[in-house]
Structure 1
């Protein structure tokens, strides 16, 4: 057994990152300054979008995207139940109604066939989530969006560095959100961003993150001088700081290396677990290139003597910091209490009962990987029928 706990995810910071932050601390700008624009431009160049708007966190960014898309009272938005709560909460923040569509059994992503079943006259948008870093079937999603005149807001919190049919995730839909929480591909401490090719969305997002305030003379009916500004709608203080942005710029320089290291670890996991009868390893599409935010094994409970909880607890006791991603959103109290307890999403619910997330992050050393593999093999073998 390991001497210390191995987390399921962790940031990688080096001296260059620290120096970038220190340089901002010594500068004239700590909040909104030149580092923000530099980060946004660097990010757009990477994903191939015309615009990027940085936010204080990914949830705030999704809130902004829903506002920019004009979602409001009476509008329905379809998303997956297999995601973090923010993918659904953002719709409720603007007064919309969330609708859950079941998942594809292979990819664990939202199933476009199930999405189509949920479309009504009230449907305004789709929020597909690239679960674990593997892109959704965007061709099918876009076909539905075009047919029914829907906005597509990709939740790519897991998918920075991923590609769909040879194109980077981030410039393929109306808007795309990325997260920079410490367990993600790069970190700004907390932080998020929306990438888009739509100038109208871009301008709304910029204004939304800063109280709804503008100083743009072309947007105001009057001006009284250089100091003058106008608050044109109820926005929020969702700005990223220059401290965060400087860290983001530095982290972007290492992104490709981070993604490649994740792929190397996944390769070792896949090879080690390929012949274990008690688990199913992640499906890998030949049309997509996952950026592997998470490595999730699915337990074949019919092959095991015990529940998922026993497997989970045993691995935790061996200092392997496993996790579960995610409790289906419609099963959470804040959704059950408003009627979602009647939702029937059998594929998502069945998947949840048997999944475990294994440690996966670039700072893992070879011994860490060996420890995970050894522990999983021992536990599954011990509890196999």
Structure 2
């Protein structure tokens, strides 16, 4: 079954007649393009949405993770527990600090790190835990929080996929000591590039605002908008991780329709579940019983052992049918860098490897409708039937 139109894996929700173009014109007219009033407004609105006391805008989720680890005191010789089933940025940020990413295997149904394995991985060098809410499925935050409290560890959420996710009634981003969000072009809130750190700690928030911009006590907007406030001090070594007002105003527009986007993604996920639940060769993503899934990704696991095809061929045939799919993710321990630098080997994390071999990400974004999803599901079912 060939789709009459291309059904893309991901697309940002930006309409030609939407609010983004007028909002950008307003910023351009103001002549203030870097970090300024729109960035401050975006931070305030984001805090209101998440329910966290502070939000600090940065230029990527990678920067958000790095700064969160940095202000938490993670450094050379330390260890940080995380998952192999994530994009490389998660462990890359840990490496920036000089610490070692200590990976543990995943739950093959939620795709999140298996919290029952965390305690066994803790050593005297362990400083923090960085769970990834994979695809938007919330991690078991109660278990992780209890472990962190007992061992005096910092809990830093990699919430790149998890804006709108909830765990037991609490928004992800209002759960750990710090949380890092992504606003990359493929994310549920897309501004091209960008990120946000949320925290309820006044001291951490104050320091984050300093280190995100060269360790300077006042950004340019604060110096410009106050009389006789040209003076600033550099109080520590910082980074160039600030967000521009151009990106921030896009964030404000995206934030205004985030709940509608969540409703659409949730509806699309239900259509996928209904259409594919009877296909024995497919394991569908688990729906959390004690939270809300953001459905950044819709990842199925396809059992090709009993089919006359493999995962790559299935993706190729779907693309021939005008349907884009992807694979999220190649487990980090399979990459040469992580093997050579940290000694990881093939076979270290069997659940992550098993999921990876079967994973296919189906199209999921707010510009799809239920007919698009049914087209994808029908094409997939036909290919499976042909391969039996």
Residues 35 and 234 (structure 1), Cα distance of their counterparts in 2 relative to 1, 3 Å cut? same
Cα displacement (A) at 1:303: 2.5
- Is 1:10 the counterpart of 2:14? The answer is no
Cα displacement (A) at 1:317: 1.7
Residue in 1 that maps onto 2:86: 83
Q: CA RMSD in A?
A: 1.4
- Is 1:122 the counterpart of 2:142? The answer is no
In 1, distance between residues paired with 2:218 and 2:359? Answer: 50
- Is 1:249 the counterpart of 2:255? The answer is no
- Structure 1 runs of 4+ aligned residues shifted over 3 Å read none
Cα displacement (A) at 1:10: 0.7
1:103 to 101, 106, 113: 106
2:42 to 10, 16, 39: 39
2:165 to 162, 166, 178: 162
In 2, distance between residues paired with 1:158 and 1:143? Answer: 23
Q: Is 2:268–2:369's contact at 8 Å kept on the other side of the alignment?
A: no
**TM-score, with length taken from structure 1:** 0.95
Map 1:94-243 onto structure 2 (within 5 A): 94-215=97-218, 226-243=229-246
Cα displacement (A) at 1:18: 1.5
Q: Residue by residue, what CA displacement relative to the aligned partner does 1:150-197 show, whole Å, maximum 9, x if unpaired? A: 000001111101110011111111001111112111112211000000
- Is 1:262 the counterpart of 2:262? The answer is no
Q: Is 2:180–2:198's contact at 8 Å kept on the other side of the alignment?
A: yes
- Is 1:325 the counterpart of 2:312? The answer is no
Cα displacement (A) at 1:341: 3.4
In 2, distance between residues paired with 1:318 and 1:94? Answer: 45
Q: Is 1:72–1:94's contact at 8 Å kept on the other side of the alignment?
A: yes
Q: Residue by residue, what CA displacement relative to the aligned partner does 1:126-173 show, whole Å, maximum 9, x if unpaired? A: 000000101000011011101110000001111101110011111111
Residue in 1 that maps onto 2:224: none
1:371 to 375, 383, 386: 375
Q: Is 2:164–2:171's contact at 8 Å kept on the other side of the alignment?
A: yes
Q: Is 1:331–1:340's contact at 8 Å kept on the other side of the alignment?
A: no
Q: Is 1:106–1:283's contact at 8 Å kept on the other side of the alignment?
A: yes
Alignment gaps of 5+ in structure 2? 220-227
Cα displacement (A) at 1:4: 4.3
Q: Residue by residue, what CA displacement relative to the aligned partner does 1:36-57 show, whole Å, maximum 9, x if unpaired? A: 1100000001110000000011
- Is 1:22 the counterpart of 2:25? The answer is yes
In 1, distance between residues paired with 2:151 and 2:39? Answer: 36
2:290 to 284, 287, 301: 287
**TM-score, with length taken from structure 2:** 0.94
- Is 1:361 the counterpart of 2:362? The answer is no
Residue in 2 that maps onto 1:311: 314
Residue in 2 that maps onto 1:349: 353
In 2, distance between residues paired with 1:21 and 1:215? Answer: 25
In 2, distance between residues paired with 1:226 and 1:54? Answer: 23
In 2, distance between residues paired with 1:56 and 1:105? Answer: 32
In 2, distance between residues paired with 1:215 and 1:132? Answer: 37
Q: Is 2:275–2:374's contact at 8 Å kept on the other side of the alignment?
A: no
Q: Residue by residue, what CA displacement relative to the aligned partner does 1:348-375 show, whole Å, maximum 9, x if unpaired? A: 1111111100000000134422321121
Q: Residue by residue, what CA displacement relative to the aligned partner does 1:63-120 show, whole Å, maximum 9, x if unpaired? A: 1111111100111001011111111110111111110010012211101111111110
Residue in 2 that maps onto 1:219: none
In 1, distance between residues paired with 2:230 and 2:294? Answer: 45
Alignment gaps of 5+ in structure 1? 217-224
Cα displacement (A) at 1:234: 2.1
In 2, distance between residues paired with 1:17 and 1:215? Answer: 29
Cα displacement (A) at 1:260: 0.5
In 2, distance between residues paired with 1:285 and 1:36? Answer: 33
